[in-house]
Amino acid sequence: MPEFPTAAAVLLQIDGWTDLSPTRRSCLKASVRLLPRFYGRPLESIRLAPTEMGKFLGASAAALGIKASSLAANISNLRSIFRRLDLIDTPNRSGEPLLPEWAELRDALPAQFLSMRLQAFMAYCSDLGILPEDVRDPTLVDYLECLRTRRLKAEPSAVVRKVASAWKRAQRQVAIWPQTLLQAPDLNKHYALPLTAYPASFQAQVTAMVCAMRDTGSKGLYHADAALNGKSEATIQQRVKCVLLAAAALVASGMPPEAITSLAFLLSRENIEIILNWHFARANYKKTDHLLTIGNTLRFIAKQVLKLTGPRFEEIAKLIRVARPKKRTRMTQKRERRLQQFDDPDNEAALLHLPRLVMAKARNLLEEGKLMEAAWLAGTGVAIAIILRCPMRIKNLSELELGNHVIKLDSRSKTWTHFVIDSEEVKNDEPLLRPISADLARLIDEYVATYRPHLKYSSTKYLFPNRDHAHRPRVAATLGRAIRDNIYEMLGLEMTAHDFRAFAGYLMLMDDTCTLHDLQLILGHKTMATTLSYYTSFRPQIAAERYNKLLDAKSASTKARANAKFAKLHGTKNKRAKAQRDGGAS
C-alpha cells in the first residue's frame, strides 16, 4: 500500500511549485487549509489518500461556512493537487476518441440514455483495450477499485451501481448492445446464509411459521396457531431475519449448515448460549437492542411456534433475559448531540424555515426546465414541512395517501384539513389524528398541482410516489435519505427524519407552557415512560436554564441592596465621590 503524504507536507510542496503563479499557489494552499474544518483533525494527521479524500466531495458548504461555489472551487483545486502528485489519474474526457467498437455503441444510443457515468465507464474500458463483448462482472469490480484508488469520487460504489443500471437500459434501447448481464459488486459483508443453504426440514418449518404469521385468522380464534396470526409484513421479515442470524452464529462457530435441521435445534441450551455469545462478541461485548431482538425471536419460537411450556420454556426465557440490555431511561448520546446543534438559535430558526428554502430551490429548477429534479426536491420539502408540524415515523410519512391519510374532515373546506392514520398502521398501535395548518395545506396543494405531475407515476394515490412502481409509495429509506441529505447540504446540520420527533420534544420541553402529557400526545407515545426518556435527557439543561434565569432575576432585583452593602463595608461610594471632587478641583 503506497504511503500518502499528509496535508501539512503537501502545503510545503506547493511552495516549491514555482512554475505556478503566486496567486495560484495561494489558492491551492487555501484549499488544503480547509480540510481540518471538515475532518476535525490537524493537517499533520490528514493523509491525502483518494479513499479518504473522496469523503470531502460530499461535504456541505453550509457546514464549512462557505458558499457552494467556493466549495466547488476548492474541490477543483484539490483535484489539481492530486493529479500533480500523481495520486489520481486524469480520466478520458467524453469528447476523446474511443475504440471503434465502443464508438459504434455510443453513437447508436439515444442521447437521453447516454449518461455521463456510462460514458466514463466506456472510456475506461476503451483505454484498457477491453472490448464491449468482453465486459463482465469482474470488469465492474476492477472499475470500482479504480474509482476508489485512482479517481476522486464521493461514492464510488453508487457510481458503479448506476453504471450497471445504465448498461441494462442500453441493452433495451440498442439492438447491437452486448446482452451480457452486469451485476454491481455487492459490498455488504453478509455473514448470514440464505434459507436455501439449510436442510429442507428447516426450510419447511420456517416457511410454515411465515404462513401462520401471514394468516389473518381464517382458522378461528381458538386454533392452535391463533396467537401467530395477523402479524405485519415488517414483523414477519424481522423474525425470519433473526432466525437466519441465529443459524449464522452457529455456522460461524463451526457447525455445518446441514446439522441445523429444525427450529427446535436452535433452542437447546448449548446452542442458545453459542448464538447469543457470538452476537454479543460481534457487538464488542455490549448488550444491544439487536442482541435482544434475536433473543426475543428465539423466545417467540419457543412459546408461539413450538408451544413449549413449563421448566423447558422457563430455562429458555432465563437464558434470554441474561442478554437483555439495561433499560434505556434517556435518548441515545448521538441523538442528544444532534439536538445540541439547536442550542444555537440560528440553527433552530434555519430548520423551522427550511421548507421555504427547499421550495424556493425547487421553483428555480422548475423555471430552468429541470422538471423531474424539481418534483423530487419539492416532495422532500413537503415531507420536511409535514414532520415539522406532525412528527410521525418515516414509514407512515412515506405511505401517506391522498384522500385516505391526508383528508378533508370539513366538507366545506377547499383544501386538506387533517392527517388520519389508523392504529393498525402505526408502530405502537396508537392512532394518529392531527390538524393540517393553512400554510402546510397550501404547500401540499402546490406540490400536488405543480410538481408531482412531472413524476412518472404521479397518478398514484400516494402523496410521495415511487420512482419505479405505480402502486407503491416512495421507499421509506430513500425518502429519509433525501431529508437527511438536504438538511446537511442546505444547513450543514446532521439530522435524520426520526430526529424530528426528538426535536419536537426539545421545543416543547424548552417551553414552560407545554406539559409532559402534551408531548406524549404529540409524539403518540403509548405510555408516559417513553415520554419521560425525553424529559430525562433534557432535564439537566432545563434545570440549568431555569437556574440561570432565576439568578439573573435575583441579581437584578438585589443590585441596589448589594451596592449599599459594598459602600458601607468598603466605602466604595465615598471614594468615588472624593475622586470626582478632586478631579473637578484640578
Q: Which residue ranges make up each domain of the chain?
A: 7-84, 100-173, 195-322, 334-523
pTM above 0.85, yes or no: no
CA distances from 164 to 141, 149, 191, 414 (A): 11, 20, 25, 46
**CB distance 516 to 533 below 8 Å:** no
Distance CA 271, CA 279 (A): 12
pLDDT at 165: 92
pLDDT at 510: 77
Q: Which helix (H) or strand (E) element contains residue 434?
A: strand 432-435
- Report the pLDDT value the prediction gives residue 187, as an integer from 0 to 100: 72
Distances (CA, A) of 474 to 113, 432, 511: 23, 20, 35
Answer for the pair 270, 254: CB distance below 8 angstroms, yes or no: no
pLDDT of residue 523: 79
Low-confidence ranges of the chain (pLDDT < 50): 1, 586
Please name the fold of domain 334-523. Answer: hpI Integrase; Chain A (1.10.443)
Give residue 32's identity as a one-letter amino acid code.
V
Rounded distance between C-alpha atoms, residue 511 and residue 38, angstroms = 34
3-state secondary structure of 550: helix
The rounded distance, in Å, linking the Cα atoms of 518 and 504 is: 11
Neighbours of 279 (CB within 10 A): 21
C-alpha cell at 11: 502545503
Render pLDDT for 487-524 as a digit per residue (tens, 0 to 9): 999 999 999 999 998 888 888 877 777 777 777 788 77
Torsion of CA 184, 188, 193, 194, to 10 degrees: -50
pLDDT value for 534:
64
- 207-263 per-position pLDDT tens digit: 999 998 888 777 777 777 777 788 888 889 999 999 999 999 999 999 999 999 999
